[in-house]
Amino acid sequence: MVQRSPSHFQTGTFYWAHHEKLCVIDETIAFMGGLDLSFGRWDTSQHVLIDDPEDGVEPIWPGKDYSNARITDFHTLNKPDEDMHERNKVPRMPWHDVGMQVVGQPARDLARHFVQRWNYLLRIKNHSRVMPFLLPPPEFKTGELEKLGLNGTCEMQICRSAGPWSMGTPDRIEHSIQNAYLKAIQMSEHFVYIENQFFITSTVVDDVPVENKIGDAIVHRIIRAHREGTPWKCCVIIPLLPGFPFPVDHNDASSLRIILECQNRTICRGPHSIFARLRKEGIDPDEYFGVFCLRNWAKLPGDVLTTEQVYIHGKVCIVDDRLAIIGSANINERSQRGDRDSELAAVIRDTDMIDGTMGGRPFKVGRFAHSLRVRLMREHIGVDVDAIDEEDLLKNNPVQHEHEQEEWDPESEQQHGREDIIEERHPHESRTFNLIHTGTDSLRQVLHGSGNVGSKNISIALKKVGIKHDTPDPARAADLTFQEERQTYTREGEKVPGFTSTTVPTLEEMTVAEHRPPRNQAYGSPIMEDPEKEAAEEAAHADAKLADGQEYGAPADAATSLATDDQPPETRTAGDKSDLDAEDQKAPRARSLLRKHLVTPGGQGQGPWTLPTPTPKIDPDGFEDPVCDEFWKNVWVAAAVHNTEIFRRVFHAIPDDLVTTWKQYIEFISHHERLNKPVPDDGPEPVGRVPSETGDEDVPEEHSPGHDPRAEELIGNAAPRKAKGPNGEDSEQPTSNGSQAPATGSQANIPAQSPSEKAQNEKAKRSKGEVPPFTKQEREEMEALLQEVCGHLVVYPTRFLEGEDIANNFLFNADRMMPLPIYD
């Protein structure tokens, strides 16, 4: 067994890890993928939240297997049978992962990989016992494979991320996993499906570039598809929140906020994001690129409603249902660069081709990649994949005979040049150099972060340790970085202040505005498709607002006031409303409709127990063509939007697109306190619990530390945000059309001190029970809505706290001191 040694001073490695997951048996059978050999990793396709059996019944997840990383990390592992959580109060966090068994020659390749590292560690480590060097096993002979029955239809290439510290190669870094991703995306014809624990690529975060080029490959492929007019889509599924303890506004949630910042910079915020780069080319990002997450719900003992995210831990990329990449590598710098975490991945192509469909046309697909992609997508929107697998086994046709299989020649398919799999290192880049480089790089980032917090003289600090600082005025450089990373592009390609997420309607808004799903693919009809129904909603219910009248979910530069979110997105870049297309004009109406279905204890609006979108009809056999609108928009996206609206209506689940400031955040999660109240005259149990998210104070005492008072302080601080001007003076942050931006509820760099008096008063009022509990009828309506949930799929929120982000107020002061390479 090889694990990361606790002693890495001599290699200069402090941050990186052996992240690969590998088990080889007899140099013939191997297991690899994303699954850790750890507690809490086994799960079913149903991803259930509770496991609190009656007395005498054994639990499915005993002891430490019943875990929730959003509540607390593993502890007291020397007592594996003891529970970490009260099962009747805390749901487990379901685990979605992908691993595989490998036999034959690829397993032997993995055995040789193990031997290479084993021998390297024997050379550099001091061991207390004598252990032998190993010889790498030879290639299998054809006759051996046939005799053992290990020949099949899948062809496989093992790829690695490996470098000097992990493999002992001082003059080379291998990043063949990144190369596999790049080539697969570049050569894709119609569809790329990605599941990953992180999505941090091709962007700039706080003036630090993220160098892996997977995001570049996606953007360039979308631009090419747009110019050629060919159907192409990329579907990315990541966790709603990183798997770290504490709510978003907690002092100790630095890791969570930093990763969210990096992912938002990759997807939708800043000029280097995928949204902004596509917008610059006049392309609607939602037509080609979609990001989704998973969430489930359950009933704790006593019929207490609860919800938790389904944590995505798999690392899968399926291209055109022909090629699959499965391994341990996340989409971030640590896994893709090669000189950081060590990783393994397998590129799999099935020579057994079957008839399929892409973009409405016949298209040959590989049996393995196609069946894997269909199973994953079915699982996410509620199809019983286990029952279908049983049926398929009974009627599965035998694979093609070996003489009928076409041999794959990858070299003949190369069309976009060749990447360098190995990066050469200069001889001077020794272990000592790695140690100095890692330390100085971390110091640069810590001092850069401290400069953003205060007025520390970075130049003097760097000079003292012998590091040259390129910028003569660090304060001015920080201001320029702040302004540069908070800009976007108009449809005409003009660079303007703001985020693309504020000008591009969200996927949910577009689904509501386009009246999807249509009547023939839904149980019911969209509200906006029926003028009478929409008029009735307008008359019967007011938009949900904060206590001071601000509109929930208004984009950061939506209007001159957050209380009047009625302007289409393009009015910030085009002065004449007559030039706006119909889609832009529908966006505010759709957002208003979403607010009418939101209940807000701290403000206005109670909302009907209905939804803006109907439940989509899901055909288990309708997953063959993932690119056509009939599936992508009317089933896949419609199911994600429908589920998102249900979880918002019942739980006020975090994160959410209707929460754009800390002030909105505090009032939004106050709904959880109302959930904690029991129904009058119906027993002591509360209506619901959401223990991993802010506002639920009825959680086990040992895991209920106070939240950061900074966010609560912002209830009383609705002043306009200020940013440094070009010459360092304070100025109101302008919107895209030059007008003053609305108040985001905070100012940049407000210190995390005690709550304001108004915040304390608001909290005291709520604690006195002034917010009435839910009635029995409302509790029944909640469960009825939850019964309409289609699987686990929800939309990734692109506007969550964007008002604070655009004011440089999303990250806390302590967050900026953390070295970014640990997280990106």
Active site residues: 19, 21, 26, 313, 315, 320
Q: Cis omega before residue 655 (within 30°)?
A: yes
3-state secondary structure of 47: coil
What is the distance of C-alpha 100 from the center of its chain? 23
What is the distance of C-alpha 660 from the center of its chain? 18
Cβ–Cβ < 8 Å for 568, 577: yes
Across-strand partners of 795?
292
Cβ–Cβ < 8 Å for 751, 341: no
The helices-and-strands tally (H runs, E runs) of the chain is 25, 27
Tell which residue, 447, 448, 499, 454, has the closest CA to residue 477: 448
What angle in degrees, to the nearest 10, is found between the helix axes of 214-228 and 176-186?
10
* 734 secondary structure, DSSP code: B
3-state secondary structure of 163: coil
CA–CA distance, 718 with 759 (Å, rounded to integer): 12
SS3 content of the chain, % helix, strand, coil (to 5): 35, 15, 50
702 Cβ contact partners less than 8 Å away, ≥ 6 residues apart: none
* 780 secondary structure, DSSP code: H
432 Cβ contact partners less than 8 Å away, ≥ 6 residues apart: 12
654 Cβ contact partners less than 8 Å away, ≥ 6 residues apart: 241, 247, 248, 665, 668, 669, 693, 694, 800
Task: Identify each DSSP E strand in 222-342 by its residue range.
Answer: 233-237, 289-300, 304-309, 311-312, 316-319, 323-327
CA–CA distance, 586 with 581 (Å, rounded to integer): 9
Per the listing, tokens 């739980």 go with: 651
Q: Could you tell me the maximum CA-CA distance found in the chain, to the nearest angstrom?
A: 82
Give the ranges where 203-351 is alpha helix by DSSP (H): 214-228, 254-267, 274-280, 333-336
CA–CA distance, 555 with 548 (Å, rounded to integer): 17
Give, for 449, the enclosing helix (H) or strand (E): helix 431-453
First to last CA, the chain: 28
Q: DSSP characters for 653-720?
A: -SS-TT--SHHHHHHHHTHHHHHTSBPTTS-SSBSEE-TTSTT---S-GGG-PPPPHHHHHGGG--PP
Tell which residue, 641, 618, 644, has the closest CA to residue 631: 618
Per the listing, tokens 């999303």 go with: 810
C-alpha distances in angstroms, 247 versus 75, 240, 707?
A: 19, 13, 8
CA neighbours closer than 13 Å in the CB half-sphere of residue 45 = 16
Tell which residue, 242, 241, 300, 260, has the closest CA to residue 690: 300
